[in-house]
A = this chain, B = another copy of it.
Amino acid sequence: MRSDFRFFHQLRVRYSEVDAQGIVFNAHYLTYLDVAITEYFRYLGFDYKQLAQEGKMDMALVKTCLEFKAPAFFDEVLEIGVRVSNIGNKSYTVDFEIYKKDSGVLVLKGQTVYVNYNPTARTAEPVPDFFRAAVEKFDGLTTK
């Protein structure tokens, strides 16, 4: 639920993202989640682009589950909650919830698992300590 999230990213639905039913086409939600986690990284002080370029940290999506709760329409402002809910050795789990800003209606619940990825070697690597520490501090997550 909404109070589980300390970080929200806001975006407005683009006309190009709605389909003939007049609602956001499902694939665009994965793009929204990608935008939101990039902003979550930025909020925590990490530049995702730079981390990837320096070979320090990149991410590869290994699994995602989405529940579509209500349609979103053109020009609506959405608030995307992002929370790291688990950090394993080489992977971490992120929970997302998307709400309509005006009405507070829940649009989507999502959970994705990312593997920490070395873009040069193209292999999975342990989640860096600096990321683990920042997430523990921000989201109050207990990892071991």
A3 at the interface (CB under 8 A from B): no
Asked whether A25 lies within 8 Å of B15 as measured between CB atoms, the reply is yes
Contacts of A21 in B (CB 8 A): 58, 119
Interface residue from B30, B47, B48, B67 paired with A27 (Cβ < 8 Å): B30
A22 in the interface (beta carbon within 8 A): yes
In the complex the two chains form, is B20's CB within 8 Å of A30's CB? no
Q: How many residues of A contact B (CB 8 A)?
A: 34
> Could you tell me the distance between the alpha carbons of A30 and B24 in the complex, rounded to whole angstroms?
13
How many identical chains are in the complex? 4
From A15, which residue of chain B is reached at the shortest CB distance?
A: B34
A121: chain B residues at CB < 8 Å are none
Q: In the bound complex, do residue B16 and residue A31 qualify as a contact, i.e. CB atoms below 8 Å apart?
A: yes
Is A2 positioned at the interface, with any CB of B under 8 Å from its CB?
Answer: no
For the complex, what is the distance from the CA of A102 to the CA of B27, rounded to whole Å? Answer: 26
A18 touches which of B20, B29, B38, B61 (Cβ 8 Å): B20
> Across the interface, which residues of B come within 8 angstroms of A74, CB to CB?
20, 49
A66 at the interface (CB under 8 A from B): yes
14 CB contacts below 8 A, A to B, read A14-B31, A15-B20, A15-B34, A15-B38, A16-B34, A19-B20, A25-B34, A27-B34, A30-B30, A60-B68, A62-B67, A63-B65, A65-B65, A65-B66
